[in-house]
Amino acid sequence: MVLARPRTVDQVLEAMAATPDALLLGGGTDLMFGVNAGHPLPERVVALRRVDELAEVAATGQGHDLGAGLTWRALEVRLAQAHPALAAAARSVGSPQVRNAGTLGGNLGTASVTGSTLPVLAALDAKVVLASATGSRAVPIAEFLRGPGDVDRRPGELIVAVRVARVRGPQQFLKVGLRASVITAVVQCGLVLDLDRREVRCGLGAVGPAPVRPAAAEGFAAEAIDWHRLRAEPGVARRFGELAAESVDPPADLHAPAAYRRHAVRVLAERALTRSLAA
Amino acid sequence: MSAPTLARPRHTLGTDAPRPDGEAKVSGRFAYSSDLRVDGMLWGATVRSPYASARILAIDPGPALALPGVVAVVTAQDVGGSGRHGLSRPDQPVLAADVVRHHGEPIAAVAATSLALARRAATLVAVTYASVDPLVDPDAALAAPPLHPDGNVYRHLVVRHGAPEDPLPAGLVSVEGSYEVGMQDSAFLGPESGLATPTEHGVDLAVSTQFLHSDRDQIAAALGLDRAHVRLTLAGVGGAFGGREDLSLHLAACLLARRTGRPVGMRYDRAESFLGHVHRHPARLWYRHTATPEGDLVRVEARVLLDGGAYASTSAAVLGNAVCFAAGPYRVCSARIEGWAVRTNNPPCGAMRGFGCVQTCFGHESQMDALAAALDMDPLALRLRNALEPGDRLITGQRITGAAPVRACLTAAAALPLPPPLPADPDPLTLPGGAGLSAQAADVRRGVGLAVGFKNLMFSEGFDDYSTASVRVEIDTDGELVATVHCAAAEVGQGFVTLAGQIVRSELGIERVALRAADTAIGEAGSSSASRQTWMSGGAIASACAAVRERAGAGPHLDARHLRDGPIEETRVFRHAPTQALDDDGQGDAHVSFVFAATRVVVDVDPELGSVNVVQVATGQDVGRALNPLSVTGQIEGGIAQGLGLALFEELRTEGGVVVNASLRDYLLPTTLDVAEVVTALVEQPEPDAPFGAKGVGEIPTIPITPAIVAAIRDATGRALRRVPVRPADIALGEA
Amino acid sequence: MTPAHLARVAAAATPTPAADTPAAAGGIQDPAGPYALRVNGEVRQVRGAGAADSLLRVLRDELGLTGAKDACEQGRCGSCSVLLDGTLVASCLVLAADAQDAEVMTVEGLAAAGERTRVQQAFLDHGAVQCGFCTPGFVVAATALLTEAPDATEVEVREALSGNICRCTGYGRIVAAVRAVQAGDP
């Protein structure tokens, strides 16, 4: 195994251009799993730990570019005001050890079904910024995440940032699992109320190969909310939850049956909207 | 009077004496069995079956041997001796030859120059299998073709107390229920590990285990070696909880060491550990409780089915416990308890903390609550009304002659102050769902539940074991007296090494106590299980101390005068009162002593999502006498956490007999945020026959906690909850 | 305002020719050579040899520091916890060769031989050690917590330690030990 330890994004891109099949090493929380289980490593690994510029939160006109090297812990601490749902999602991930090491870029690149930032980024209509030696592009998250481990990242491309627009309005993140901490998510729900656009955006995670945006539920809620006073009639949140649940076809697995996942979507979506309207 | 004797030692019985190995453990310098290294050593790895049931058609070690650095591959044909092992009966092959009976069964073992290489080589041993439909339903085991020459029934046991077939008079109240307990794993943190060094005629093995001499005897028989030439030393143990009573890597390591002529170390990783030791028996229970309208228990009927998996291990004894204690610590006029422990192609099950009593406690305590509801009685009042007392007879006919503070434990637990109600703005991490932020205070319902359980101490039914200890007293180079204890009792974390020092200090008045390594150079101390070591090995050390005092002609304490003629060393064997086998009606004085505990639990539940937070555990524990209150607290809190895990999320899952969650990602252990505040009332009624009056407390905390948690969830939600672990879907949607 | 690195990338129209020189590619590791780690204040040489070893493996198998433990090697138990530049991490999830330039602190480095920190002493005094396999990880995690948040509430203490599994104690005495250190108990 050959290990490259670049210090700048340019150096990363050079290394990737030279060896497009190089594996990128962020916090190690995914790669090292395989190493410890004895899986063979690829010939080349590019470690991103020392690329300080990837760990920046850069203000843009519309919001922020969140560096792909930001750890969960950094997201939790630094985004509490600007993007509270994302900060809450980051705080809910794994253990303190994992939160200190795992990165935003890693979460996106691995695209696990249960990746906690992913449904929130979906609700925020985030864009994934990829850079290569030949340029850069920003991909809407819904197009970037195609399925578990399947993302729109071309050879030689590096996830450098996630572009998130600042949204005026309440945000929520809820997830349910099987114990009080270090929770493997059974269902996740990120909710964003956009007061300026009068939109409701909901990201449902761990219910399918990629986060789901329940369009019918979002549309219903947008219509039903009194945006001026940020209130809704009794029953609106419940209906929102039901529509969200109808939009998913969740799997059954070791951790939960499909019926429970569907039920939990209904409950989490309803609670997220209720909390947003009561805020 | 000559010079005064030493001031009374500080850390005697009854004090919070510190651990003698504590400094090494907090500084990271304590040597566990996975830390052992010697120059020139090889590493071993095991080839395991991916199938739950299969015929082995061929084993080709060639591809593994072709790898540079691979030194040897052994299969069944390389095993001398009987080729079989087993704690109770030797029904388990060292290495499978033509039949595989469970997922992960060892087929071959590889020695190589590094552990990574050995593991890789193990994947290259080419085994050709013909998979067979596995038998995975324990209910089908009785009628199914035998999976093994010994048949599919490990034990069938019936207890008939009173006249349980007599018709019952009218006007009584009956409740029936079926319950299920999932397969829990001991999940001790220190992986299976050890180092085998070949000798001219045998092998020396340093290993983590609970019972050195049983390991030695099984290794000798299985590999065809003379017991005298199989020498075991206890290496540092990272927890056990029953999972180290059976052999694990011992046989492969010894076989490879003898075959290669070099020391061979082995260490399992976590996934292999899940496959490599026995688990708690999954259980299916049916009960019918009948009582008078006033609440006197008239009859308890039960059927107990334990799935023992592919090999016997201690299934017969686990069933014995499950059945003997199936009616709970209550007086009952008549009882009929019928139990089976059966063989399937599921993972082998055996000892785990609580040993059969955990399963039936869930059954009888669920039933008592159902009965209380049917009688419109308070659950505590129903239990107090029927509680056993000294002088009462169990359903096995044995009269309780020792301390039996059932009422005292119940009353003490119930009297402990309840926790304050949920505040208006609680910290989200204290709500059900914890870090997921799924609940707010308005979503939460609080519930309270109560349970009481009991168990035997030591082994039973005529399995009368003993312990051996030697105590040597001499004057050290600096003129101080030092006592050295030699005992083969395995320290697995429970604090026996601490207790040993306390006993000597109390019995001989000597401050400085050293403990030799536990090994097979001395006679057996028996297993570190069955909550027995305080009584048995503590008793052996006390006996040896008494013998030292007698030989020295000393009073209560020794001083330098007594050693004028040189060091004094005495070895004693300690036995408990003999027990009887159970007759055809399950009657007999089968047990030495009993231990009791009652637990009250407060939970907060989010009924819509089925998330649970345990708020408080209050417990009244029968300890006889707390010889080290801090240690006792540690055993209680630790045992409660394991029972909490069984109640809420611990289950080893199989599909077609194949384990599907052999990792800590998917087999969930309680974290710091899952456990609750534990408040304890120690009930100290000295046990007459026990050394120092003390009862072993290793297991009893794990027994009533699980049903108490479930009772509290039922109280909060109204759900029936017949199965543990309780899943969120069971609460949110009702059970399937 | 475009972040600086994206601006630079956009300006690079053609890829740089592949070059395995350290200068060109920002420190490509010589696959056969040894490397140095800074552990407990000392520079220690590691074999290297192109191995993809975790920091845990290197600490235990090459450097003789067996305090960090291998209870799961999946980042799920915390028994391998060390401090990397003062931050609590699971050493089983760190590629050892990637920990060059970082300060690694293991349980062995917290106090001089024969001495104990207040956290370590509190663990002994409060019965927080049974089998002890989890203890080094907890000691490191508690040390990190008390450095970063000495006034943490009990819930915050539990959250900070939630990545460390103990199978023996049920955590009661461990949390009591940490609280005692916070309270300044002797």
Question: Is C17's pLDDT higher than 90?
Answer: no
A171 close contact with C: CB closer than 8 A:
no
Q: By C-alpha distance, which of B176, B667, B412, C29 is closest to A44? A: C29
CATH of A171-278, one of 1.10.540.10, 3.40.50.300, 3.30.390.50, 3.40.50.20: 3.30.390.50
Are the C-beta atoms of residues B707 and B366 closer than 8 Å to each other? yes
Burial of B726 (0-12, 13-18, 19+ CB in 10 A): buried
- Three-state SS for B213-241 is HHHHHHHHHHHCCCHHHEEEEECECCCCC
Burial B367-405 (b: 16+ CB within 10 A, else e): bbbbbbeebebebbebbbbbbbeeebebbbbbebebbbb
Number of domains in chain C: 2
Instruction: Express as a percent the part of chain B with pLDDT over 90.
Output: 96
Residue C21 is assigned to a structural domain of this protein: no
Active site residues per annotation of B: 699
| Mean predicted lDDT score pLDDT of chain B | 97
C102 lies in the same domain as C124: no
Dihedral sign, Cα of residue C19, residue C23, residue C29, residue C34: positive
- Quote the pLDDT of residue C4: 41
Neighbour tally for A57: CB within 10 Å:
17
- Quote the pLDDT of residue B6: 52
Residue C86 is assigned to a structural domain of this protein: yes
Tell me the CA distances in angstroms from C59 to A31, B270, C37, C85, one per residue in order.
19, 19, 10, 16
Residue C27 is assigned to a structural domain of this protein: no
Question: Is C22's pLDDT higher than 50?
Answer: no
DSSP C149: -
CA distance C132 to chain B (A): 6
Partnered with residue B485 across adjacent β-strands are B471, B515
Q: Report the C-alpha gap between A110 and A26 in whole angstroms.
A: 11
**Chain A residues touching C142 at Cβ < 8 A:** none
With CB atoms and an 8 Å threshold, state whether A257 touches B440. no
Confidence of residue B376 (pLDDT cuts 50, 70, 90): very high
Q: By C-alpha distance, which of B489, B465, B469, B534 is closest to B694? A: B534
- Quote the pLDDT of residue B261: 98
User: Final residue of a domain: which of C63, C85, C109?
Assistant: C109
Question: Is B692's pLDDT higher than 50?
Answer: yes
Burial B28-38 (b: 16+ CB within 10 A, else e): bbbebbbbbee
Supply the range of the domain harboring residue C97.
33-109
Are the C-beta atoms of residues B109 and B255 closer than 8 Å to each other? yes
With CB atoms and an 8 Å threshold, state whether C24 touches A134. no
Segment B256-285 shows an average pLDDT of 98
Residue among B35, B641, B642 minimizing CB distance to C66: B35
Chain B residue with minimum CA distance to A175: B436
User: Final residue of a domain: which of C109, C133, C155?
Assistant: C109
- Quote the pLDDT of residue B486: 98
Q: Which H helix or E strand runs over B306? A: strand B297-307
Residue among A3, A65, A97 minimizing CB distance to C163: A97
Least confident of A218-222, B5-9, B371-375, C139-143: B5-9
Partnered with residue B92 across adjacent β-strands are B85
Tell me the CA distances in angstroms from B318 to B283, B305, B315, B360, B363, one per residue in order.
11, 11, 5, 11, 15
Q: Report the C-alpha gap between B468 and B117 in whole angstroms.
A: 42
**Chain B residues touching A181 at Cβ < 8 A:** 429, 434-435, 671-674
C104 lies in the same domain as C72: yes
Q: Choosing among A45, A52, A97, which should be mutated to test the C contact, i.e. which has the most C CBs within 10 A? A: A97
Which structure tokens are listed for C50? 């192109």
Residue C20 is assigned to a structural domain of this protein: no
Are the C-beta atoms of residues B274 and B175 closer than 8 Å to each other? no
- Quote the pLDDT of residue B7: 64
- Quote the pLDDT of residue C29: 52
- Quote the pLDDT of residue A34: 84
Confidence of residue B736 (pLDDT cuts 50, 70, 90): low
With CB atoms and an 8 Å threshold, state whether A133 touches C9. yes
Q: What is the pTM of this model?
A: 0.96
B437 close contact with C: CB closer than 8 A:
no
Residue C84 is assigned to a structural domain of this protein: yes
- Quote the pLDDT of residue C113: 86
User: Final residue of a domain: which of C77, C109, C141?
Assistant: C109
Q: What is the CATH number of the domain that holds C91?
A: 3.10.20.30
The more confidently predicted of residues C147 and C101 is C147
Backbone angles phi, psi at B313, to 5 degrees: 45, -125
- Quote the pLDDT of residue A101: 95
Amino acid identity of residue B643, one-letter, is G
pLDDT tens-place string over residues B178-202: 999 999 999 999 999 999 999 999 9
C93 lies in the same domain as C132: no
Q: Choosing among C5, C83, C146, which should be mutated to test the A contact, i.e. which has the most A CBs within 10 A? A: C5
Q: What is the CA radius of gyration of chain C?
A: 20
Question: Is C136's pLDDT higher than 90?
Answer: yes
- Quote the pLDDT of residue C47: 85
Question: Is B545's pLDDT higher than 60?
Answer: yes
Neighbour tally for B718: CB within 10 Å:
13
Q: Report the C-alpha gap between B181 and A48 in whole angstroms.
A: 47
pLDDT tens-place string over residues B106-164: 999 999 999 999 999 999 999 999 999 999 999 999 999 999 999 999 999 999 999 99
Quickly count helices (H) and strands (E) in chain B.
16, 28
Segment B393-414 shows an average pLDDT of 98
Q: Report the C-alpha gap between A129 and A140 in whole angstroms.
A: 9
Quickly count helices (H) and strands (E) in chain C.
7, 5
Q: Report the C-alpha gap between B384 and B38 in whole angstroms.
A: 59
Are the C-beta atoms of residues B508 and B472 closer than 8 Å to each other? no
- Quote the pLDDT of residue C31: 52
Q: Which CATH class is domain B22-30+465-575?
A: alpha beta
Which portions of chain A are predicted below pLDDT 50? none
B22-30+465-575 and B397-457+587-736 share one CATH topology?
Answer: yes
Q: By C-alpha distance, which of B416, B444, B411, B457 is closest to B591? A: B457
DSSP C28: B
Break chain B into its structural domains and give their ranges. Answer: 22-30+465-575, 397-457+587-736
Backbone angles phi, psi at B401, to 5 degrees: -105, -15
Chain B residue with minimum CA distance to A94: B435
Are the C-beta atoms of residues A163 and A138 closer than 8 Å to each other? yes
Q: Choosing among B633, B672, B673, B697, which should be mutated to test the C contact, i.e. which has the most C CBs within 10 A? A: B672
CATH of A2-165, one of 3.30.465.10, 3.10.129.10, 3.30.420.40, 2.60.40.1840: 3.30.465.10
Confidence of residue B572 (pLDDT cuts 50, 70, 90): very high
- Quote the pLDDT of residue C50: 64
- Quote the pLDDT of residue A2: 85
- Quote the pLDDT of residue B502: 98
DSSP B113: S
With CB atoms and an 8 Å threshold, state whether A58 touches C52. no
Domain covering B397-457+587-736 in this structure, CATH number:
3.30.365.10
With CB atoms and an 8 Å threshold, state whether C94 touches A28. yes
Amino acid identity of residue B463, one-letter, is F
Which structure tokens are listed for B373? 């509801």
Burial B152-189 (b: 16+ CB within 10 A, else e): bbbbebebbbbebeeeeeeeebebebebbbbbbbbbbb
Chain C residue with minimum CA distance to A129: C6
pLDDT tens-place string over residues B274-292: 999 999 999 999 999 999 9
Residue C159 is assigned to a structural domain of this protein: yes
Question: Is C131's pLDDT higher than 50?
Answer: yes
Q: How many CA atoms lie within 13 A of C49 on its CB side?
A: 5
Residue C130 is assigned to a structural domain of this protein: yes
Break chain A into its structural domains and give their ranges. Answer: 2-165, 171-278
